[in-house]
Each structure stands twice: as C-alpha cells, then as structure tokens.
C-alpha cells in the first residue's frame, strides 16, 4: 500500500488516459463511439459522457466532496445510472412543468394501466388494478409491511450478502435483522434453506427476498423461489419480494417474478417495484407494490410507514417510461451486459488484476468483486491504523471501521476509483467490493485500467 499511497498520485495517474472526471467536466459533447457496436441501429447513445457534477448527485458530488475533485476519477458507488434520461420522459416532464399549477392531484387510471401493461408485456405477469398501492420509494412500502406483519421488535430475515439498505429499513420498522448467509458454489451464490429453517420461530414472520440479488446478481429460478416459499409457508412467514432490479437481466438468464410461481406463493407475498433503478428515476420518488392477498395489503396500509404522496412529476415519468421505454430498456440492458463482458475480460486477463476474482453475474448493473487477495496484501494493521487516525483527525466516523472500508479508501487513494465496501452487505461479504457499472464504456475502461495498475503495484 505504501508504494501506492506514498507516491504522488498525479504521477501515478499519468499515462492512464483521459479521466472520466475530465471527460464528464467537458460536458455532453465528448461522446465516445466504443460500446455500441450492435447490429441493429441504436436509438439511444449510452457511450455519451454525461456530466453529473454540480447537481448534488450522491454518486459524483458526495464522492468529490469527501475525497476532493482531483482524487476522484470514476465514482462507482450508489446504484443509479450515469446515462442521459430517456428523451421521451424529459419531454413529458417539460410539458407538465409548463402547466404552472402544482396543486393536489389524484393518481390517474392511466398510471395504473401503464404498470399493468408493463408487467404483462415484460414478464407475462397479470397484476390487477386493485392489488396495487404506491409509495415514494421502495423501502417505505416495505417498512409498512414489516410493521404490520412481524411481531413488534421481531426478526426479519435477510439472505446475505444482500442490499445494505435493508438493515436500515428493518431498524426503522422497529425490527432486528436475522441473517441467513448464502453459500457460494462455483461462482454463484445459493440460498441455504436448512440454515433458514433453523432460524424461523415465533419472532420471525417476514423474509426479504432480493431478486435479482443486489449485490451478487442472481436471478432466482422458479424452482429456487418455490423451495424458498415452501419453507416460508411452513412457518407462516410472508415473503417481501424486492424486485427493483428486475429489468437488468444478462443474456441467457431470466427474471422470474415471485408472484408468478404459483397461486399459494403469490398469496403469501408482497412484491415491491419501482422505475427508479430501471430508468434512473430515483429522485423522482415513485414506487409501487402489489399483492393479490387483500389481508396482507390491508395490514400494510395500516403499517403506516409508507408515503402514498407520489409527486406529479414522478408519476408522469413513471407512466411515460413504462409506455414508451421498451426499446430504451432493451438497449440499456444490452449495453450493461456488454459492460459486464468488458469487466470480466479485464479482471481475468492473465495477470491484469492480481488479487481480484470475478465471474459474470445473471442480472443487475452491480459487480460483486472478490478482492480478498488484494485486501490481504494491502490492508495491513499499519494501514488500518493510519486509516483510523485519518478518519478521526478529519472528524469523520471512526468507530466500526472495517477492513473493506479501509480497502475502499486504499482504492480511491491508489487510483481514483470509488467502490462500495462489501462489509455493509452482511455475512459472507468479507473482502468483497461492489462496483456500479451502469456507466459509459470509456469510463469503465478508465476505471479498470487504473485499478489494474494499482493491483499490479500493490
Ligand atoms: C435491492 C434494492 N432495494 C431497494 C433500494 C432502494 O430503493 P428506494 O430508494 O426506492 O427505497 C435499492 C437501492 O439501491 C436496492 O438496490
């Protein structure tokens, strides 16, 4: 680590190529023609470097605030898109903004119809209007369900590694996290149902399923979901199916909605969705959830954690995206699939990234990199102490620091790439780092070239 940390970072970066930050700062004129080599004509350009600097974006601006502009080359943290919004959505929002009254509105029937049609067309799933409710984001709906369905201060099961935000949601609901660690076999994570069954008791009436799984990318099969559902039903456990990443599925794989695997499974579950990951609508604040079981829905509605106050712009964006976004989603998912191939090749090329292991996932736009080798080399006790002291002296949180957090800092320091520390994704995450690859291919190349240099020097 000292080798990299001790040297002048500017010298280290020399020769690595134009940084994504420089490209981003250059604005939207610097399009690269490198990722979109598909046979048919593309309508949308995901190669375009589109600046998100200076608009309070958490991914870019928070990283720059924390590390300094000169130290951040490619931020690859929080799960949103560095792509330009669908122009059809932008047009619809401008039209709405032109009507300059923003008073109370009801949710239009056309919004529900767009959700119903999208589910039928994309996943062959029938969702009825009366099964759907709305919230300002995915987690608030889920918090309502947990409050209503689980015993007070009871346990909610997470199959780990899984999305770090579930822990906060469970705590907000007044519950405790119970981890059911998965097992990694031949590069794919598998549910451990025996372990799950041993954890289910009178205090545990909800399990959060993440499908496709953030961060490891499994698109659970119908058989896997039924096996999980059978265990849950035996113990009266409701499956809260988070399907927010369902539109990002790599070639050769399939998203299976939990509500599609059979009547009894649909009847003992609630599904949570949002256009936020698919279309990059996170700050437009619209999500929806559904169940055919009226009792579960009635309970959720008195759970009181959700906020049904969807805003006018979010509703319009969601409806437009579902109505007009089929081609956009086909193209963006193909592009991200290509990014995964690019990443897999870079990591696995002989000696290119010593200390990192990776194989292609089934879905999401998140890469779950096994960095145990690198971590063992560079996160020495001396580095951890130096990292602790640095955090303390900067007035930052310095309790509960993990080796993965130290590795995240080391990688920023070594090559300007910011990844999420695996340690917040639960048991089984030791030595892993999460990388968001929903970015232009040229930025991904810059990040991987930099990371490769850092790994080789470690
Ligand atoms: C699996 C999963 N669920 C939920 C969320 C958060 O969704 P929201 O911001 O709509 O609550 C995320 C965000 O990354 C996620 O990955």
11 pLDDT above the threshold of 50: no
- Tokens 């539109």, residue located: 247
Query: Structural domain boundaries of the chain?
Result: 2-85+327-457, 91-324
Phi/psi of residue 37, each to 5°?
-110, 35
Tell me the pLDDT tens digit for each residue of 174-221.
999 999 999 999 889 999 999 999 999 999 999 999 999 999 999 999
Pocket of ligand 1 (CB under 6 A): 79, 137-139, 163, 165, 210, 214, 242, 244-245, 274, 276, 282, 287
Residue in 80, 137, 275, 277 to alter for ligand 1 test, most ligand atoms within 8 A of Cβ? 277
Q: Which residues pair with 370 in a beta bridge?
A: 357, 432
Tell me the pLDDT tens digit for each residue of 95-104.
999 999 999 8
Tell me the pLDDT tens digit for each residue of 329-350.
999 999 999 999 999 999 999 9
Instruction: Count CB-CB contacts under 10 A for residue 316.
Output: 21
> One fold for both 2-85+327-457 and 91-324?
no
Higher pLDDT residue, 5 or 173? 173
Of residues 309, 286, 292, 295, the one with CA closest to residue 145: 295
CATH number of the domain at 91-324, please?
Answer: 3.40.640.10
At residue 106, the 3 state secondary structure works out as: coil
Give the distance, in angstroms, between the CA of residue 108 and the centroid of all CA atoms in the same chain.
29
Q: E strands along 128-187, which residues?
A: 132-135, 155-160, 176-181, 183-185
Residue 117 and residue 112: Cα distance in Å, rounded?
9
Query: Does the domain made of 2-85+327-457 have the CATH classification 3.30.70.60?
Result: no
Residue in 138, 241, 255, 283 to alter for ligand 1 test, most ligand atoms within 8 A of Cβ? 138
Of residues 398, 313, 408, the one with CA closest to residue 76: 408
155 pLDDT above the threshold of 70: yes
216 CA to centre of ligand 1 in angstroms: 15
Cβ atoms of 226 and 266 closer than 8 Å = no
Q: E strands along 2-129, which residues?
A: 74-75
285 CA to centre of ligand 1 in angstroms: 11
Supply the pLDDT for residue 315: 96
Q: What percent of the chain clears pLDDT 90, i.e. is strictly above it?
A: 88
420 pLDDT above the threshold of 60: yes
165 CA to centre of ligand 1 in angstroms: 7
Average pLDDT over residues 31-37: 46
Tell me the pLDDT tens digit for each residue of 272-306.
999 999 999 999 999 999 999 999 999 998 877 66
């Amino acid at each position: 680590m000292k080798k990299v940390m001790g040297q002048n970072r500017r010298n280290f970066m020399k020769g690595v190529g134009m940084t994504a930050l420089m490209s981003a700062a250059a604005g939207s004129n610097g399009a690269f023609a490198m990722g979109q080599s598909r046979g048919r004509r593309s309508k949308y350009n995901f190669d375009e470097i589109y600046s998100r600097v200076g608009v309070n974006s958490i991914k870019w601006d928070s990283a720059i605030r924390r590390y300094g502009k000169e130290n951040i080359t490619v931020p690859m943290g929080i799960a949103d898109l560095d792509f330009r919004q669908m122009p059809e959505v932008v047009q619809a929002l401008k039209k709405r903004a032109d009507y300059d009254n923003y008073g109370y509105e009801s949710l239009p029937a056309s919004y529900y119809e767009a959700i119903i049609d999208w589910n039928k067309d994309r996943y062959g799933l029938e969702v009825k209007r009366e099964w759907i409710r709305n919230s300002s984001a995915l987690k608030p709906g889920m918090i309502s369900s947990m409050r209503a369905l689980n015993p007070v201060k009871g346990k909610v099961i997470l199959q780990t590694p899984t999305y770090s935000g579930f822990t906060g949601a469970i705590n907000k609901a007044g519950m405790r996290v119970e981890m059911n660690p998965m097992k990694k076999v031949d590069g794919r994570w598998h549910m451990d149902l025996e372990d799950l069954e041993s954890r289910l008791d009178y205090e545990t009436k909800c399990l959060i399923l993440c499908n496709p799984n953030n961060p490891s990318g499994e698109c659970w099969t119908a058989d896997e979901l039924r096996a999980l559902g059978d265990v849950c039903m035996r113990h009266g456990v409701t499956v809260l199916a988070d399907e927010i990443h369902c539109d990002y599925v790599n070639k050769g794989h399939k998203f299976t909605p939990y509500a599609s695997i059979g009547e009894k499974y649909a009847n003992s579950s609630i599904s949570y969705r949002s256009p936020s990951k698919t279309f990059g609508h996170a700050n437009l604040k619209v999500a929806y959830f559904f169940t055919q079981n009226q009792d579960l829905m009635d309970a959720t509605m008195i759970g009181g954690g959700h906020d049904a106050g969807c805003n006018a712009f979010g509703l319009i964006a969601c409806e437009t995206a579902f109505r007009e976004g089929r081609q956009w989603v086909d193209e963006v998912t193909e592009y991200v699939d290509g990014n995964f191939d690019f990443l897999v090749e870079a990591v696995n090329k002989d000696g290119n990234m010593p200390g990192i292991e990776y194989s292609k996932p089934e879905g999401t736009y998140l890469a779950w990199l096994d960095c145990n080798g690198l971590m063992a080399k560079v996160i020495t006790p001396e580095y951890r102490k130096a990292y602790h002291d640095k955090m303390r002296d900067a007035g930052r949180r310095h309790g509960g620091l993990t080796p993965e957090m130290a590795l995240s800092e080391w990688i920023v320091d070594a090559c300007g790439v910011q990844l999420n520390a695996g340690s917040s994704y639960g048991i089984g995450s030791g030595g892993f780092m999460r990388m968001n690859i929903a970015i232009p291919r040229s930025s991904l190349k810059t990040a991987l070239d930099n990371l490769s240099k850092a790994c080789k020097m470690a």
